[in-house]
Amino acid sequence: MGALSKFLLVTFELVNELYTAVGAGVLGMVVLVKHGLESHCAVKTLTVIGITTASLVYIMSESEQILPNKKRIVCITGCDSGLGFSLAQHAVDMGFTVFAGFLSLDSRGSKEIRKLYGNKIVQIHLDITNTSSVSAAVKTLEHFLSQNPGYSLYAIVNNAGVMVFGEFEWLTEKLIKQQLDVNLMGTFRFTNALCPLLREHKGRVITVTSHCSEATLPGLAVYGATKAALTAWSDGLRVEMRKYGVQVLTFIPGSFTLQSNIMGNQLQNVQDMHDSFTPEQHSFYSDYFKRYFVASGA
């Protein structure tokens, strides 16, 4: 056997043993120690064990489990309905202190949470498309932290979003801008305002995206584009914030369309689309436009 063949064989064996050791953890190392003693390959075995031990220590240190407690604050946007409404309740049930952002403190979701949890969930008015509203929410959070030493901002959850269903050609500039303003710019605005607190407390940025960010469905071209943009933004932000101890995550939920108000204005949106049609579009789309929304349930 030539020198190159021997080298390749040794490399293959080493990689194979590393795979076994890292994959099987402590059990894998026990097997390799036994094999090393029997085959008199102590140096190779010790090398594999050393690399494996270092790998396992690194993995365990990176996946440290953090237990919820009331001194860890989770701030969630878009709690009026759907996922945000559920997340706020789940987080407080786990033991976190929750700041829940509502577009309206008179919304059905706000009233329901107030009825169920009282002051256990801190409700704040939060319109992420409005700079003044975001600033006021941040000041409320800062004041709470200053009055409660030992508390920390554990995570913000960018959940607020809107969806307008309809083919791209039909969408008015207003309907396109609405999705960009809430889903994209609103998320940017809210996160940017909280970056100093996130750095100070080494918190987390959790952004709700969508399966449409990976495979956009027809009728959701703009919505999918905003969610894909959030994924790309999160990828870049993750690297930027890592050195400050801030983690950045994305979360793809199941379908909450029928359990949320994400399409709350769809009937009006359909009317706006129809009203904006040119004579040519009225003639071309005709019954297809009506059948499209009847079939979709809009």
For 204: left if phi > 0, alpha if psi spans -120 to 50, otherwise beta; the answer is: beta
Whether 12 has a pLDDT exceeding 60, the answer reads: no
Whether 114 has a pLDDT exceeding 90, the answer reads: yes
Which domains, ranges and CATH numbers included, belong to the chain? 3-62 (no CATH), 72-269 (3.40.50.720)
* pLDDT, tens digit (0-9, with 9 covering 90-100), for 178-187: 999 999 999 9
Whether 64 has a pLDDT exceeding 80, the answer reads: no
Instruction: Please tell me the distance from the alpha carbon of residue 297 to that of residue 50, in angstroms, as a whole number.
Output: 60
Q: What value does the mean pLDDT of the chain take?
A: 84
The active-site residue, picked from 154, 223, 285, 292, is: 223
The confidence band for 296, taking pLDDT boundaries of 50, 70 and 90, is low
Q: Is 223 a catalytic residue?
A: yes
Q: Give residue for tokens 């941040």.
A: 138
* pLDDT, tens digit (0-9, with 9 covering 90-100), for 239-268: 999 999 999 999 988 765 555 566 667 888
Whether 66 has a pLDDT exceeding 90, the answer reads: no
Read off the pLDDT of each residue in 58-63 and give the average, rounded to a whole number: 57
Taking the CA of residue 136 as centre, how many other CA atoms within 13 Å lie in the half-sphere pointing to its CB? Answer: 13
Residue pair 57/51 in contact (Cβ under 8 Å)? The answer is no
- Residue 202's pLDDT is 97
Which pTM value belongs to this model? 0.76
